[in-house]
A = this chain, B = another copy of it.
């Protein structure tokens, strides 16, 4: 695992708390390497937005507010919406359509039995990732993908960061049902070349990560943690 990846992990796990200034030597010792790879990694992480310059010298861990997280989600929404619209306008290959339909089928299979298991969450995460990757990959230009990937390093901005609360699998099940319908609508719009529609659907779909929780809670008291 590269120094950059390990540092990303440490930051997201709170080993280095938000706002903390990172000393090159300290981090180098923590990771068991010399300063050189750490210095290189700091530059990468700075561009990714996880670190920020601390005055004239050094870096600190970037702190994210709730507003920032929502913003990162909206950025993903508009970028993925742009990608989907372009794909709809340029037309998609049958191979792409088949891959997307395969994702829909598997999603249907995951949700068919009416409730969620831990294994289902893993399967969904994989198919969801495949779904989004397929659309982004089919748009051709690398530029949009790059912009999204850079944004994905921010917390909760990635399309993968969906399920967290395993205490409330009931609510999460309903959430995935909504996500499944959204995926279906997106494929329908893509297949018919409906650029404007697919863009709006994709933008709304981005909100599934954090803004649907409060909508899908049947009743706080009727569903005790399982």
Contacts and interface: CB of A to CB of B under 8 A. Distances in A.
Contacts of A65: 141
Interface in A65-123: 65, 67-68, 71-72, 74-75, 78-79, 81-82, 86
Interface in A11-46: 36, 39-40, 43-44, 46
A68 B150 contact: no
A79 B151 CA distance: 12
Interface residues on A, range: 20 to 34
Interface SS of A by simple majority: helix
A86 B70 CA distance: 12
B43 A147 contact: no
Contacts of A71: 86, 141, 143-144
A78 to B, nearest CB: 4
Contacts of A81: 78
Contacts of A72: 143
Nearest to A140: B67
A162 interface: no
A75 B143 contact: yes
17 contacts: A39-B40, A40-B40, A43-B43, A43-B47, A44-B46, A47-B47, A49-B146, A67-B140, A67-B141, A68-B141, A68-B143, A74-B86, A75-B147, A78-B81, A78-B82, A147-B151, A150-B150
